[in-house]
Amino acid sequence: MNTLEEYTDVLVVGAGHAGCEAALACARLGLETAIFTVSVDSIALMPCNPNIGGSSKGHLVREIDALGGQMGINIDKTFIQSKMLNKSKGPAVHSLRAQADKVNYSMEMRKTLQNTEHLTIRQAEVAEIITVPANSAAVEKKDGQMVEINGELQKITGVKTVSGGVYHCKAVVLCTGTYLRARCLTGEMITYTGPNGLMAANHLTDALKAHGIEMQRFKTGTPARVDRRSIDFSKMQEQFGDERVVPFSFTTDPESVQIDQASCWLTYTNENT
The H or E element containing residue 266 is: strand 264-266
CB 73, CB 65: distance < 8 Å: yes
Quickly list H helices, the chain: 17-28, 57-66, 71-78, 102-114, 204-210
The DSSP result for 180-220, as a single string, is BT--EEETTEEE---GGGPPPB-SHHHHHHHTT--------
What distance in Å separates the CA atoms of residue 208 and residue 82, rounded to the nearest whole number?
40
Bridge-based pairing of strands 119-123 and 33-37 is: parallel
Stated pTM of the model:
0.89
> How sure is the predictor about 17, in pLDDT bands with cuts at 50, 70 and 90?
very high
Quick: pLDDT tens for 109-168. Answer: 999 999 999 999 999 999 999 998 877 655 554 445 556 655 677 889 999 999 999 999
Average pLDDT over residues 181-207: 87
Rounded to whole angstroms, the Cα distance separating 211 from 233 reads 53
| 40 confidence band (pLDDT: 50, 70, 90) | very high
What 3-state class would DSSP assign to 151?
A: coil
pLDDT of 78 > 90? The answer is: yes
Q: What is the pLDDT of residues 234-260, one digit of tens each?
A: 999 999 999 999 999 999 999 999 999
Per-residue model confidence (pLDDT) at position 144 = 52
Taking alpha carbons only, the member of 63, 70, 24, 73 closest to residue 248 is 73
pLDDT of residue 142: 45
